[in-house]
Chain A
């Protein structure tokens, strides 16, 4: 009888995976059709997507870029694509895009806001990306004055005189610190700063500006509009609301009863009312609260209100970060013998701010979106301009082209901010998980 036992001595070559378990088919089976419910969902939503694309595509494909009114646009579309065809009339953007970017800024001076915008990117770069040389931060510090000079024009000595206040304060601090100690030096420095700003900066700037060197043609605030206006309000608000928010958060967590009460009252009041009421106060009431005869720029008033509004929200976000820190961090800072400001600056704040990054960036995004509310007090931001253009008899009846354009630009700004915050979170993640 033959020996029927058989033992294989070498491995079989591995078989190819079945066709349904590799590549696109496998991916679809796992992600789109893994149960009957998911299959139905996929089919329904796929149908919806296809339906939307089929209906929207012709609108883009049959668009017109060269026309002077909506009627002309429609006539061109009918002529080119047959009776009953619909298409976008992007001619309105072609005609008005400069207004959308600059408002009613004088056309021959468009280079100034443009330059200010690109310089802003350069000034932001070292703040946003720590890989860049630290010396660039000096440019970032000088940028606000430069931007003011470029946008509003006038003499360069006005911002320089304001910056000089800080030099005065530092000198005063140095002169006093050695003799009387830190706190007294701080008080003297602040006093010197205020005296310089209120009494000396104006005359000094006027004297230096008299010969007319380095002077740009002044532009009035009511000529600002479009995305220039949104960016001016948004960026200034963002820049000032963070430090103010930090101070308010520290005040709210302070042990000092009165300081705490004032901060809580401020934060809860601002958070309790809509921004639009604050803007109304800025446009109707601020004159009543200020000394008789004062009347200052509407954009400045709006910026102040937006900054106050955002700083209250910022304070709550940062307070969350402060509360999330373990008590041991505070105690360790005390044990090292650091005073309050040093322990905050070196130990507490870096950690608390890191925890609250997502919230802070969300606040920034909210603030930037809220700049559109100035349309309600009749400033010509992109939305105010859109309403004005839609009221123009040439473009009456146009909707999607304009709102889509404005929405797209806002989306780009806000979405890139949220992407940056995710990058920052990943970069700062020091916990080992």
Chain B
């Protein structure tokens, strides 16, 4: 501060307000003091209130017995487990629905975004109706509505029984949609499955290596290899061959109708289905708009220039338009993923046990530790969103136009 003082001119107090050199310091000091006062006021209130309620502030409850059941857990969990483990189950459930939602939303969004750009009038209109319809209606309404459909319109397992069954399984008696959830085939890991999975991983590595080789060869000699078919072959053939040679260690178990319910195979709870479906349809509408905007953002000159160079239409798309469009599409896409993850906290509306329902719901009500639970809950979401936005920043930096 002393270094900026003008020589020969004595410092007067009024300079703190009227001299632009010092004014920003004054304002900042006032801001910091006000901020500290507000924080101190809040902390003081909290301490007083907690003391009045006879509560202390510690996270010891995370180690005590939870005593409630969770209908879907990715890791072993019983009601004898701790609150901390219940929170972990919730976190994994949140991540599961977020991951599934992101995958489906991307597929739906890209599909409808491209359809909306179609020259076909009818197709473009249908895509527009989907996008506007889902964007302008609250996501919670979609979650409630899809859950209501799953509960009340989907048939009960008993409807699949008998000569004149009112419901039938899909895809050749392999998938059943009931009012309890979705029953579907599930792999059974027989002896020797490690070899099959190992082969599959090895073929994935081979695909990557082959892609690099093909690119280097194209850059050196100009020869273009039929990469798509070779990659597809690598993807399928070795795994199938090994599986066949070992006599099929990995088999599918199909759900079958027993006395009261379907048995065997995999089961997905209706709450997870409703939540995933609602979130991905809703977010898909936003992604469709991002995709459309990204493709429209590439000026016609780029396409025309590529055509003038003699590229074929599909190469124009893959070599010229898409790489530039992705730069526009990906940042809003990632923030849509973030929104989807945050919206998954609405899971409580359908009784899906995500972190908000375990840690921020039952645990909070049982232990009465609102402050600690909310802090942990907010901390979890903050970490997730900071992670996602740092990925976004890293991506933005890596694709930013390198100006020379």
Contact = CB atoms under 8 A, between A and B. Distances in A.
A259 B28 contact: yes
Given A183-B17, A273-B382, A370 B138 contact: yes
Main secondary structure on B side of the interface with A: helix
Contact of A399 (B32, B145, B345, B356): B145
Contact of A45 (B42, B126, B140): B126
A271 B385 contact: yes
Interface residues of A, number: 59
Interface string B138-167: 111100110011001100000000000000
Contacts of A34: 119
Interface stretch (A4-12, A61-69, A347-355, A402-410): A402-410
Interface stretch (B45-53, B203-211, B233-241, B313-321): B45-53
Contacts, number: 156
Contacts of B194: none
Contacts of B121: 31-32
Interface in B4-33: 17-18, 24, 27-28, 31-32
B328 to A, nearest CB: 14
B80 interface: no
A410 B119 contact: no
A97 interface: no
B360 A280 contact: yes
A277 B345 contact: yes
Given A32-B120, A273-B381, A288-B49, A373 B346 contact: yes
A41 B381 contact: no
Interface stretch (B169-177, B252-260, B302-310, B371-379): B371-379
A372 B145 contact: no
Given A31-B120, A38-B119, A183-B17, A285 B345 contact: no
Interface in A242-269: 255-259, 262, 268-269
Nearest to B147: A399
A41 B374 contact: no
B31 A277 contact: no
5 contacts: A268-B386, A288-B45, A292-B49, A407-B137, A411-B136
Interface of B: 17-18, 24, 27-28, 31-32, 35, 42, 45-46, 48-50, 52, 118-123, 126, 132-133, 135-141, 144-145, 148-149, 152-153, 342-343, 345-346, 348-349, 356, 360, 364, 370-371, 374, 377-378, 381-382, 384-386
Q: Which 4 A-B pairs have the closest CB atoms?
A: A414-B136, A274-B342, A31-B121, A272-B385
Interface of A: 31-32, 34, 38, 41-42, 45-46, 48-49, 181, 183-184, 255-259, 262, 268-269, 271-277, 280-281, 284-285, 287-292, 365, 369-370, 372-373, 375-376, 383, 386-387, 390, 397, 399, 403, 406-407, 410-411, 414-415, 418
